[in-house]
Structure 1
Amino acid sequence: MSALGNCENGESFDVVVVGSGSAGAMAALRSADLGLKVLIVEKAHKFGGTSATSGGVMWIPNHRLDGDRGDSREAALAYLDATIGVAVNRERLEAFVDEAPRMLRFLQSTGVQVAAAAWPDYFPDRGGARADRSVIVPTFDGRRLGDGRYALMREQYNRFKLFGRYAMDLTETFTLMMQSKGWRMVAGRMIGRYWLDRPTRKVSHRDKRFTQGAALMGATYEQVFARGVELRLETALEGLAVDEGGRVTGVEVSRFGRRYSVAARHGVVLAAGGFEWNQALRDRFYPVPGLTRHSSTPEDGNRGEALVAAEAVGASTEHTEQGWWIPTMTLPMKGASNFHEIHQAAFDVGRPWSVVVNRKGLRFVDEACGYDQFGQAMVRDQLETGANCPCWLIFDAKFRRKFSAGGLMPTVHTPEHKIPADWWDHYVFRASTIEDLCAKTHLPVEAVRQTIANMNTYAKTGVDPEFGRGMNPYDQMFGDPSSRPNPNIGPIDTAPFYAVPINNGDLGTKGGLRCDARARVLDGEGRPIAGLYAAGNNSGTPFGDTYPGAGATIGPAMTFGFVAANDIAERAGNGRVGSALEQSGIPAFAEMTK
């Protein structure tokens, strides 16, 4: 076991949290609420982590936000059992189901508003599935963080904003995405609201309306800062300090080249995200490694330093062959064509008037399925055929008029004449016939022609006998009601025809440090490493190989951040902490698990 030595002469906190995303924020919030002195270190120049750039959804079974709506512990576990396909730590899985509602009640008790969203679980045909387990935080006024902090929280990607400027909540996003009735009026209100906010325009270009992941993190950090938690940006983890007994006693960090140690009297919580931006770790763990640049998380952000540091003191890992997959595509950055942007295509691949094929010209999945299932299908097909990663999204002029294809916006936003010349036949392919399109993309003509003929037949019958596209509530939620009889399938018959390459991107890594039900990091023998905890993508997911529903990354991240803080507080064992636990109205962890 390697170590950096003890931190006897440096600064000292009760808890040091590494990473400022949702897992770290919750660990810090709960620890501070229990009377512990907390430091968050974040290597980036801005806080909020990947969570701040996400949709900000938490998957919380049995939350009962609107009273008893029929969900239960048993139903949640039955659903998870029906979807998980690999061995997982049962105690840890059950701890998530039990602790997630308690975490949510605690978050509410601090003043953060939450609401249930009507979002189907990603396997709606499995026993125990529901359409109300995803929880969101309403729009938050970012100025409430104070002008200094308002500008320092990580900003949403342009893809989550209208015209790369105007913040959109989920309702606005889907209205604009589907060009639903009144969408122009919605866009007009958003633009007007932004420019009429003159006080904010004097401070920053950023919309003060924090939506989606920014709403979650803004509202949470308002409470974190209110409790006196210290946050240090540009402060990277260099290693863990361990005493002679093998207990983690602190961290060594660096800021602009200056290295120093910080002691953690009661615990270190690793919440620094996964390793999707570390090509060496991808090559080590993934059966189909893919490239770092296909990830849709903040560029060069999650490089796995905390995982490597924990392995250096004996930590073990689990589920590292899995990612939170999502289809992505690449386009040049506007105004700087030598640089590229990654665009998610999570729902685009399942729209009517389109089909996705591998390089043999064959379908391999229900294209409208959950984005993680789509990515898993890409991996399977690549291993079986060697002809995937990337695959191709083929669509016609009807699709082009109405929907985005990754970063290619519909014609109402980006007409043909506004598409830069260097995009055509390099990033976006266009032809007047399917035959010419296949020639440009090197796809086999006969196979593609037959695949499209099949899809056109399915468009008439409404039945996809191959993969069942558009035949379950999840698919249909993101389809187009104007396409009948199946909202996810429409004839691909109107020239010109288009194709874009689709990569197997990700929302982070599913695997990470192996932890127990109390979020304690385990060594190679399955024993807890004293003083060391992990949550979020820094730890292995409790769900193994599955993505049960919207928010299945952030829900467990915040839950095990909460669990880690509770365990640290209990082990701290002083009267102040015990009193805080009692006053919170939430039982101590030991009482919860009896």
Structure 2
Amino acid sequence: MMEGKVTAGWDHETDILVVGSGAGAMTAAIVAADNHADVLVIEKGELFGGTTATSGGVLWIPNSHLAKAAGQEDSRDEAIEYIAALAGKVDRKQIEAFVDTAPAMLQYVEREANVLYNSIPYTDYHAELPGGKLGWRSHDPVPVDGRLLGDDLKWMRPTHPAAMLFGKISWTAAEAAPMITRWPGWIKSLIKVLWRYYSDVGQRIKSDRARFLTGGNALVARLKLAMDKRHVPLWRKTAFEDLIVEDGRVVGAIVSRDGRHQRIRARKGVILAAGGFERNAELRGANLKQSPDPDASGGQPCNTGDALIAAQKIGAAVDRLDSAWWAPTIKVPGEDRARPLFFERSLPGSMIVNQAGKRFTNEAASYHICGKEMFEKNLPGAETTPAYVIFDATFRKKYPMGPVMPVFPDFTMRGEVKEIVTKASSIAELAEKLGLPVDALVETVERFNANARKGEDPDFGRGHQPYDRYYGDPKVQPNPNLLPLEKAPFYALPVNPGDIGTNGGLVTDSAGAVLDQAGKRIEGLYAVGNTAASVMGGSYPGAGATIGPAMTFGYAAARDMTGANQPAG
């Protein structure tokens, strides 16, 4: 931190400096520019788009105009009731601010920035709770042609392999679910997706990367195009290092660019939107003691908590640093991040066991709940680091499991994937190869199979809740999430308690302004996205509950900084 009276020596001046280039950052930049502010966006990495670009790009927005247009009922009160039941000690004013502002934000980016979405029937993760809904709060980005980005396409961070078909082919949420769960017509959808990818011969000659952009890539592309239209610069390979404070107010930042330190003045303030700290070994070890290994994270490598550290140095308050968006993950050798198991656990014919050879959770629960269960039940003699996901030949043929794709025979697996796959002709042999108690694993599988044949899971209730069934196979009855594991060979992959980002961070008010430890604003400093403590507390209400609030509070912060929330006159 630099503090004191500073009047000269700036390398660059702007009204608002935005640190980070994910959806929250870009939304803030667009809104600020529309309110006549000069804006600069900086990105630490060589690639822009942040965690958003790697994700599915889904937004969780309750009571939206798109849901209403689809004929779906929702209300402010139901949304507040639902979030409050899950979020715990989060200030109710924060929850109300999100619920009230999110629909307006979505309308704004649609109208002013051509950021297009569809409301989809993706159930809330806890739809059984009061205020929960069986769909239409999650919104899927409308695809966009990557050629519109020109040369910027190669500098946009690619989608995480876990969110693409075969790890490289883009698809929409509407296309993915039917193919994953083998709904009627899935083969036609598969052919369509494959044709769309392989018929782009010009791009295939140059790169594996798809130019048909979906998910987070579609969202980031549309936001980048909107920034370009407003002539908002984005400096890549510009690392944020520290805040500059003058008379108690944040007036700029020190960055590292082109091999030297530069001082950027921000007349109206700085917005920290640089992601969480999941890839910082020291911070993770100190705060996420239940899951201390950065290699277990699916978060992108630049998320090392630089903004969090700098804000704490000037007295910013923090909350829930021991919390993350949890997920069971698989680490494939050579990949720069782990692969979250978002949906595969729900598919019938698989189970997850600990090192005692026992099941310990409902595998089909949301990835946040399942990941959290992994570290909460990591006990001596029944360790879950790693646990093992086990499936049989029937599953192997029909469904994906992390990096293991169906249909294609075992010999086609990449060498790195073969390194982590264990294969055996019987459950007993599988237990021996994994070093698990043979009798215990055999007994676990036999009990699971007997209940699965009846469509029951008396131990953990798999398939009983709406979210469980969302990624079940509807052709499997009476329970779309359960089939016995009985056809050899049998397979196993190691699974760790991981995450897709941290969700504890800087304490902010309802406009995204950072608060000090006395609850007062640090003037000129705002934080959004995973740099801030989430409005969702330690919970995960539904698909898009990370990016939805990031964009909402980015919108609110920019309006607050530019005076757009002030009454006229």
TM-score normalized by the length of structure 1: 0.90
Q: Does 1:208 align with 2:211?
A: yes
Residue 376 of structure 1 pairs with residue 369 of structure 2: no
Q: CA deviation at 1:198?
A: 5.2
Number of positions where the alignment pairs a residue of Structure 1 with one of Structure 2: 563
Partner of 1:142: 146
**Corresponding letter in the other structure for 1:404:** P
C-alpha spacing 1:329/1:205, structure 2 compared with 1 (3 Å):
closer
CA contact (8 A) 2:296 2:337 kept: no
Counterpart of 2:262? 260
RMSD, aligned α-carbons: 2.1
Q: Aligned match of 2:463 in 470, 487, 490?
A: 470
Deviation, structure 1 residue 3 = 3.8
State the secondary structure of the residue aligned to 2:499: strand
Partner of 1:567: 560
Counterpart of 2:412?
A: 418
Give 1:174 shift: 2.4
TM-fit CA distance, 1:383 = 5.6
CA–CA distance in 2 between the matches of 1:166 and 1:251?
Answer: 39
Partner residue, 1:484: 477
8 Å CA contact 1:6–1:250 kept in 2: the answer is: no
Matched, 1:133 2:126: no
Alpha-carbon distance between aligned partners in 2 of 1:420 and 1:66, rounded to the nearest angstrom: 42
SS at 1:382 equivalent: coil
Query: Residue 135 of structure 1 aligns to a residue in which SS?
Result: strand
Partner of 1:525: 518
Tell me, yes or no, if structure 1 residue 446 matches structure 2 residue 439.
yes
Question: 1:20–1:271: 8 Å Cα contact kept in structure 2?
Answer: yes
Please point out which of 227, 240, 244 is paired with 2:243.
240
Structure 2 counterpart of 1:548, one-letter code? P
> 3-state DSSP class of the match of 2:194?
helix
Aligned to 1:274: 276
Corresponding letter in the other structure for 1:241: I
Is the contact made by 1:344 and 1:407 (CA closer than 8 Å) also made in structure 2? Answer: no
CA distance in 2 between partners of 1:12 and 1:267 (Å): 11
Counting aligned pairs with the same residue, the percent is 40
The separation in 2 between residues aligned to 1:307 and 1:46, in whole angstroms, is: 21
Structure 1 residues 357 and 163: CA distance shift in structure 2, 3 A: closer
Check whether the contact 2:24–2:528 (CA below 8 A) recurs between aligned residues.
Answer: yes
Question: TM-score, structure 2 length as denominator?
Answer: 0.94
Quick one: distance in 1 between partners of 2:382 and 2:350? Answer: 23
Displacement of 1:152: 1.6
Deviation track 1:375-417 (CA, whole Å, cap 9, x = no partner) reads 111121026866122211111111111112211112x13x122
Aligned ranges 1:419-434 → 2 under 5 Å: 419=413, 426-434=419-427
Cα separation, 1, equivalents of 2:42 and 2:89: 33
Aligned match of 1:37: 38
SS across alignment from 1:16 = strand
Q: CA deviation at 1:343?
A: 2.2
Are residues 199 and 79 of structure 1, via their aligned partners in 2, closer, same or farther at CA, if it must alter by over 3 Å?
Answer: same
Task: Report if the CA contact (8 A) 2:384-2:497 is conserved.
Answer: no
Residue range with higher mean Cα deviation, 460-469 or 47-56: 460-469
Gaps of 5+ in 1: 334-338, 571-580, 582-587
**Cα displacement (A) at 1:474:** 0.9
Residue 289 to residue 157, structure 1, CA distance change in 2 (3 Å): closer
C-alpha spacing 1:197/1:108, structure 2 compared with 1 (3 Å): same
Cα 1:196–1:480 change in 2 (3 A) is: closer
The aligned counterpart of 2:74 is 71
> How much does 1:344 deviate?
2.3
2:331 maps to a residue whose letter is: T
438, 443, 449: which is aligned to 1:456?
Answer: 449
The offset of 1:345, in angstroms, is 1.6
Q: Name the counterpart of 1:435.
A: 428
- Is contact 1:7-1:262 (8 Å) kept? no
In structure 2, what is the equivalent of residue 6 of structure 1? 6
Provide Cα deviations, 1:138-157, integer angstroms capped at 9, x if missing partner.
Answer: 10112222x12222211223
Summarize the Cα distance change of 1:163–1:459 in structure 2 as closer, same or farther, 3 Å threshold: closer
CA distance in 1, matches of 2:415, 2:78: 53
Distance in 1, matches of 2:382 and 2:460, equals: 21
In 2, distance between residues paired with 1:97 and 1:307?
25
Say which of 99, 106, 109 aligns to 2:108.
Answer: 106
| Residues 94 and 510, structure 2, Cα contact 8 Å, conserved in 1 | yes
Deviations 1:477-511, CA, capped at 9 Å, x for gaps = 10112222111111111111111111112111010
**Structure 2 vs 1, CA of residues 223 and 364 (structure 1 numbering), >3 Å: closer, same or farther?**
same
Per the alignment, do residues 175 and 4 of structure 1 end up closer, same or farther by CA in structure 2, a change over 3 Å counting?
A: farther
Aligned to 1:87: 89
2:507 maps to which of 505, 508, 514:
514
Cα distance in structure 2, aligned partners of 1:62 and 1:73: 6
- 2:349 aligns with 353
Shift of 1:159: 3.6
Decide whether the 8 Å contact of 2:347 with 2:482 is kept in 1.
yes
1:15 aligned counterpart, secondary structure: strand
**How has the CA–CA distance of structure 1 residues 364 and 163 changed in structure 2, closer, same or farther, with 3 Å as cutoff?**
closer
Per-residue deviation at 1:183?
3.6
**Residue identity matched to 2:103:** P
Report what 2:387 is aligned to.
391
Partner residue of 1:221?
Answer: 224
Paired with 2:64 and 2:317, the residues of 1 have a C-alpha distance of 32
Instruction: Identify if the C-alpha distance between structure 1 residues 505 and 224 changes in structure 2 by more than 3 Å, giving closer, same or farther.
Output: same
AA in 1 matched with 2:294: T
1:164 is displaced (CA, Å) by: 4.2
Change (3 A) 1:31 1:260: same
Q: Distance in 1 between matches of 2:467 and 2:165?
A: 25
Task: Give the 3 Å change call, closer, same or farther, for CA 357–252 of structure 1 in structure 2.
Answer: same
**Are the aligned partners of 1:23 and 1:271 in contact in 2 as well (CA < 8 Å)?**
yes
Does the Cα contact within 8 Å between 1:331 and 1:427 map onto a contact in 2? yes
| Deviation at residue 469 of structure 1 after TM alignment | 0.4
State how far apart, in whole Å, the 1-side matches of 2:445 and 2:382 are: 22
Is the Cα–Cα contact under 8 Å of residues 393 and 502 in structure 1 kept in the other structure?
A: yes
